[in-house]
């Protein structure tokens, strides 16, 4: 029987990724799209997008507004649709501030949910409570699914990525055989996202004006990659890894960004039209209230206060972009000159070092000759006289021929397809099942707590327990002087 799917939120992400994936599984009779939930005003857009993707029209459940009453009505209508047409799977691809009602519905109605990252988001008032709400949300949704016959999966693309799977296997084998953990980890991701100064106020897609930014946009993938690689330590060393994670951040806001790239730069490139307001005093004040553009997270995983693993996670939006135009494109997702770069370094004591570099191609319009090809490179250096193997090995992965014929699929696209396919067919336990995201979400929470503390003039440090499931978030703020010397 084809799995009956309802898609919640047909925005940029769903249109670019889920509709083609749904098209494939519908053609193979593995799934049927029975409904789409979105804001009523988006009905024409939804109908057009389904038509263009070659999908049959589906029931449209339109919310008359985004207020809680309209949301509750939509869930009642969703239950009716399930009773009349059937629904075994919900893809939740709305703004992350609206993920929770749908996740709750899925758990209570025993419907499997595939949800986009981040699990949840909220307007940040820079209080510790707002930051900790991210962990509260995770715990309450995890607990609801623990009592449901259904499951929740977060769509993260690194955990099923051929290159990262290979890298993690190598790290796991060394940790398991020699009892040496990952002692250092750096994950760096630049998502060159050039928001022009006035766009921090106007953007609704990947917004900053609600007090959150890079980390709850693409940053979740980078935090999750770090947590997933660190889970090698937990698997290989079991309870012997660490009992506490200490976290410290530095971050930049749009107000810092206005200082980094001043108005003269826009004027110099002929891009400064109508750009006075963001640089005014009122504009700068507003920019201070926005979410982060760049963040540097330092962490140390400690056992009995002794450092076992040290590392950092860097998420940068102020990095190379190919944007060279004043007006924001209609498609703020793909056509905005965004360029991603990713690099990882891992040390396992004195036994092994690994460097991973994910070279992404530049957009075709910015690099017509294709001078920057896509290559995913893993370089492994070993103390081979002690642990065997080659002292140096290099693994290069390149994109695969497209599953849809013609062209190639990036490794990320292939990973998304694998995760989606596994979710549709229910084959095996999902590598990205909700309950496996605890460390990622606690790191994310701690980073937000640190950034909030910094905004209130406090030391941007906190810590949280790891290793044992904690019943409730109990992030412990730290002062500069409280660490053991």
Ligand X SMILES: NC(=O)c1ccc[n+]([C@@H]2O[C@H](COP(=O)([O-])OP(=O)(O)OC[C@H]3O[C@@H](n4cnc5c(N)ncnc54)[C@H](O)[C@@H]3O)[C@@H](O)[C@H]2O)c1
- Binding-site ranges for ligand X (CB under 6 A): 8-14, 37-39, 42, 63, 66, 71, 93-96, 98, 116-117, 155, 205, 333
Q: Which is nearer to ligand X, 53 or 301 (CB)?
A: 53
CB of 205 to ligand X, least distance (A): 4
In sequence order, what DSSP letters do the residues of 177-241 get, joined into one string? Answer: HH-----EEEEEEEEE----TTHHHH--SS-STTS--GGGTTHHHHHHHHHHHHHHHHHHHGGGS
**Exposure string for 62-89, b = 16+ CB within 10 A, e = fewer:** bbeeeeeeeeeebbebbeebbeeeebbb
Q: Which is nearer to ligand X, 100 or 232 (CB)?
A: 100
Distance CA 285, CA 307 (A): 40
* Whole-Å CA distances, 211 to 11, 13, 194, 319, 477: 22, 22, 18, 21, 21
- Tell the smallest beta-carbon distance from residue 91 to ligand X (Å): 10
- Minimum distance, C-beta of residue 77 to ligand X, in the bound complex (Å): 11
DSSP secondary structure of 345-361: EEEETTTEEEEEEEEPP
266 vs 333, which CB is nearer to ligand X? 333
To ligand X, the closest distance from the beta carbon of 104 in angstroms equals: 13
Of residues 214 and 236, the one with the C-beta less far from ligand X: 214
11 or 278: whose CB is closer to ligand X? 11
Residues found in the chain: 485
CB of 272: closest distance to ligand X in angstroms? 28
CB of 137 vs ligand X, minimal distance in Å? 13
Least spacing, CB of residue 169 vs ligand X, in Å: 23
Q: Which residue is nearest to ligand X (CB)?
A: 11
Q: Looking at beta carbons only, is 205 or 288 nearer to ligand X?
A: 205
CA terminus-to-terminus distance, the chain: 62
What is the token pair recorded at 369? 């000759």
Q: Are 215 and 221 in contact (CB under 8 A)?
A: no
Nearer to ligand X, 382 or 417 (CB): 417
């Amino acid at each position: 029987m084809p799995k009956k799917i309802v898609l919640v939120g047909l925005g940029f992400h769903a249109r670019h990724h889920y509709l083609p994936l749904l098209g494939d599984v519908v053609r193979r009779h593995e799934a049927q799209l029975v409904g789409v939930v979105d804001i009523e005003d988006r009905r024409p857009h939804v109908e057009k997008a389904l038509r263009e993707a070659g999908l049959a029209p589906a029931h449209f459940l339109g919310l008359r507004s985004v207020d809680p009453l309209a949301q509750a009505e939509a869930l009642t209508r969703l239950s009716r649709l399930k009773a009349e047409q059937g629904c075994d799977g919900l893809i939740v691809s709305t703004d992350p501030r609206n993920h929770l009602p749908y996740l709750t519905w899925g758990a209570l109605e025993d419907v499997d949910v595939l949800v986009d990252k981040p699990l949840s988001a909220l307007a940040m008032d820079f209080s510790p409570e707002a930051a900790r709400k991210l962990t509260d949300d995770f715990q309450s949704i995890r607990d609801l699914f623990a009592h449901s016959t259904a499951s929740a999966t977060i769509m993260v693309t690194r955990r099923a990525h051929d290159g990262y799977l290979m890298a993690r296997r190598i790290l796991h084998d060394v940790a398991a055989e020699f009892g040496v953990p990952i002692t250092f980890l750096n994950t760096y991701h630049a998502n060159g996202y050039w928001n022009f100064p006035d766009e921090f106020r106007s953007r609704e897609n990947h917004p900053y004006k609600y007090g959150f930014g890079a980390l709850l946009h693409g940053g979740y993938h980078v935090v999750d990659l770090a947590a997933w690689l660190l889970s090698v330590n937990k698997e290989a060393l079991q309870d012997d890894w660490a009992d506490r994670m200490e976290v410290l951040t530095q971050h930049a806001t749009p107000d810092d960004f206005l200082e980094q790239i001043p108005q003269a730069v826009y004027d110099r490139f002929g891009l400064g039209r109508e750009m006075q307001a963001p640089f005014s005093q009122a504009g700068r004040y507003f920019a201070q209230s926005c979410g982060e553009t760049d963040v540097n997270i330092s962490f140390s995983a400690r056992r009995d206060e002794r450092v076992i693993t040290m590392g950092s996670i860097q998420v940068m939006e102020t990095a190379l972009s190919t944007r060279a135009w004043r007006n924001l494109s209609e498609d703020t997702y793909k056509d905005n000159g965004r360029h991603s770069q990713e690099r990882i370094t891992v040390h396992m004591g004195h036994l092994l070092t690994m460097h991973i570099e994910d070279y992404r191609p530049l957009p075709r319009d910015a690099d017509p000759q294709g001078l920057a090809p896509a290559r995913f490179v893993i370089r492994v250096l070993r103390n081979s006289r002690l642990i065997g193997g080659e002292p140096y090995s290099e693994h290069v992965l390149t994109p695969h021929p497209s599953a849809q014929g013609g062209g190639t699929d990036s490794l990320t696209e292939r990973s998304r397809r694998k995760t989606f396919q596994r979710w549709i067919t229910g084959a095996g336990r999902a590598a990205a099942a909700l309950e496996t995201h605890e460390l990622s979400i606690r790191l994310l929470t701690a980073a937000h707590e640190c950034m909030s503390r910094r905004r209130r003039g406090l030391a941007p440090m906190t810590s949280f327990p790891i290793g044992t499931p904690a019943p409730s978030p109990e992030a412990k703020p730290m002062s500069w002087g409280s660490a053991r010397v």
